[in-house]
Amino acid sequence: MSDEQLRPDRIMEIANGYWATGVLGVAARYSVFTHLEAGVDTAEALAAKTGLAERGTQTLLDALVGLGLVQVRDGYRNSPEASAFLVDGEPASLVGYAGLKLGEMVKMTVLPEVFSGGGPLTEPMVEVVDNPHWEHVVPAIAAQSVPVAHTAAKLLKLADAGAISILDVGGGSGIFSGTWLAANPAAHATQLDWAPINAIARRLVGPEVADRFDFIDGDFHTVELAAAAYDVIVYSHVAHQEGPQDNAANFLKLRAALKPGGTLVICDYVVDDDRGGPPFALAFASEMLLKSRKGGTWRRADYTAWLQAAGFTDVSFHLTPSPTTIVLAR
End-to-end CA distance of the chain: 47
Tens-digit pLDDT profile for the chain (330 aa)?
556 789 999 999 999 999 999 999 999 999 999 999 999 999 999 999 999 999 999 999 999 999 999 999 999 999 999 999 999 999 899 999 999 999 989 888 999 999 999 998 887 766 666 777 788 889 888 999 999 999 999 999 999 999 999 999 999 999 999 999 999 999 999 999 999 999 999 998 888 999 999 999 999 999 999 999 999 999 999 999 999 999 999 999 999 999 999 999 999 999 999 999 999 999 999 999 999 999 999 999 999 999 999 999 999 999 999 999 999 999
Give the number of residues written for the chain: 330
* Residue 228 and residue 258 in contact, taking contact as beta carbons nearer than 8 Å: yes
- Alpha-carbon gap, residue 165 to 286, rounded angstroms: 36
- Alpha-carbon gap, residue 39 to 71, rounded angstroms: 13
Give the residue among 174, 290, 313, 192 at the shortest CA–CA distance from 241: 290
**Edge-to-edge strand order for the sheet containing 315-320?**
213-217, 188-193, 165-169, 230-236, 258-268, 322-329, 315-320
* Residue 273 and residue 297 in contact, taking contact as beta carbons nearer than 8 Å: no
Q: Using DSSP, state whether 324 is helix, strand or coil.
A: strand
* Residue 98 and residue 81 in contact, taking contact as beta carbons nearer than 8 Å: no
pTM of the model: 0.92
- Determine the residue type at 78: N
- Alpha-carbon gap, residue 18 to 26, rounded angstroms: 12
